[in-house]
Structure 1
């Protein structure tokens, strides 16, 4: 059982602006060096090293050594879910906040960057408008059943996704296979778990999506617009994808 003290320690770690900045950068699933994370957080390498040591000690980060470098990544999807949840609460419209915490003006929920709102990585799965559209389509065609806390792939869904090239065999394992994840910007669920990771991997491997350097945003390629439109009825809402 989690104690109040343990909860407070974790919240305090995440609540520091520099540490929050470094954790946010790692939400795309990459492993970065202390120098790279220092630049992202706007602190000195020495300061970053101190922050990273605390995050690793608390189990929020894992560290791997390769040659002369040490690479830091989020310790688990659970850490990414926690960060995404905090972001969702932090970006709530003022009308949904307690009166004592309301800001002077109403802000739109989610990221201001249109590319991030359209499609982004949430650790190892896809988030944003595209991800929600995919989840809606899979539910509507009876391919996936989503509840409040979990989800399941139907036999028809297995046939459909294998037809798209999704490696469902690799997705099976100890981790949760399918679950809903409340989207930070859309405020509706997208698909997480091993199935969500497999869907993202398929989109990247087939060239339907392309990672954006230095950002969690992923760009929808011209071929991806066609393929995702046919498979999920997706229509891009903004000119934030591949312009080629």
Structure 2
């Protein structure tokens, strides 16, 4: 039996909450919707029904379950309703589940377009081949602890030298190793990954197109990434 320091009442409440989250995700169509929302955008019910390959009426029921499970939130704008992940903690949970799941199957040959594999967004951080190369370089330079769960002193200094400001009061993880679905290797997630993406965009090293996940690395960005991360 699992022993916990929580009081019996709190322990029971935690167990019920965990069961509710698990139940909300216990359907392939709902998992497809959560994975689609990992691009960080807000999607309509119609768009999510297409992603999950279900009828709009069926999608409505799935979305209600996800909202009730506090995994997604619903935003109303005019006559339209949009859905997005409820927060960074949900995105990190989905990332971890994707990584755990890939370890249980034979990785299929990816059919993703080359532009998507090269560079794209993963919720609020950079993903794709470029992101994996940056992560590998940070590991080689000693910026990250072995499992990617924290910046080292060298890493914090490296971020400061690049001009990347970290939010010391952030409630989420400082950083984490996020499994890249196209590369089957890790890229940088967490607060550090989000701060890096913002920095790359502000410097003009990458360009994002509204409504799309693909990211274009500019000429100046290629030079900068080669200089700092040998990409």
TM range (shorter): 0.7 to 0.9
* Number of aligned residue pairs: 218
**Is residue 117–residue 128 contact of structure 1 (8 Å, CA) maintained in 2?**
yes
Q: Are residues 1:201 and 2:201 paired?
A: no
TM-score (norm 1): 0.73
Alignment correspondent of 1:117: 117
Deviation at 1:220, TM superposition (A): 2.4
Aligned partners of 2:228, 2:28: CA distance in 1, in Å?
41
**Is residue 144–residue 155 contact of structure 2 (8 Å, CA) maintained in 1?**
no
Give the stretch that moved more between structures: 68-77 or 209-218.
Answer: 209-218
Give the stretch that moved more between structures: 24-33 or 176-185.
Answer: 176-185
| Equivalent position to 1:191, from 175, 188, 196 | 188
**Is residue 128–residue 185 contact of structure 1 (8 Å, CA) maintained in 2?**
yes
Aligned partners of 2:217, 2:111: CA distance in 1, in Å?
18
Alignment correspondent of 1:128: 128
**Is residue 91–residue 108 contact of structure 1 (8 Å, CA) maintained in 2?**
no
Q: Are residues 1:146 and 2:138 paired?
A: no
Q: Are residues 1:225 and 2:222 paired?
A: yes
What secondary structure does 2:73 align onto? strand
**Is residue 132–residue 188 contact of structure 1 (8 Å, CA) maintained in 2?**
yes
Deviation at 1:228, TM superposition (A): 1.2
**Is residue 151–residue 180 contact of structure 1 (8 Å, CA) maintained in 2?**
no
Deviation at 1:7, TM superposition (A): 5.2
Any gaps of 5 or more consecutive residues in structure 1? Answer: 98-105, 235-244
**Is residue 178–residue 193 contact of structure 1 (8 Å, CA) maintained in 2?**
yes
Aligned partners of 2:172, 2:184: CA distance in 1, in Å?
24
Any gaps of 5 or more consecutive residues in structure 2? Answer: 1-10
Give the stretch that moved more between structures: 116-125 or 48-57.
Answer: 116-125
Deviation at 1:194, TM superposition (A): 0.9
Give the stretch that moved more between structures: 119-128 or 46-55.
Answer: 119-128
**Is residue 146–residue 179 contact of structure 1 (8 Å, CA) maintained in 2?**
no
TM-score (norm 2): 0.76
Deviation at 1:76, TM superposition (A): 2.2
Aligned partners of 2:183, 2:108: CA distance in 1, in Å?
11
Give the stretch that moved more between structures: 182-191 or 55-64.
Answer: 182-191
**Is residue 167–residue 198 contact of structure 1 (8 Å, CA) maintained in 2?**
yes
For 1:1-244, list aligned pairs within 5 A: 3=15, 10-92=21-103, 97=105, 107-108=107-108, 111-113=110-112, 114-142=114-142, 144-148=143-147, 150-154=149-153, 156-168=154-166, 170=167, 172-211=169-208, 215-234=212-231
**Is residue 31–residue 72 contact of structure 1 (8 Å, CA) maintained in 2?**
yes
How big is the alpha-carbon RMSD for the aligned residues of Structure 1 and Structure 2? Answer: 3.0
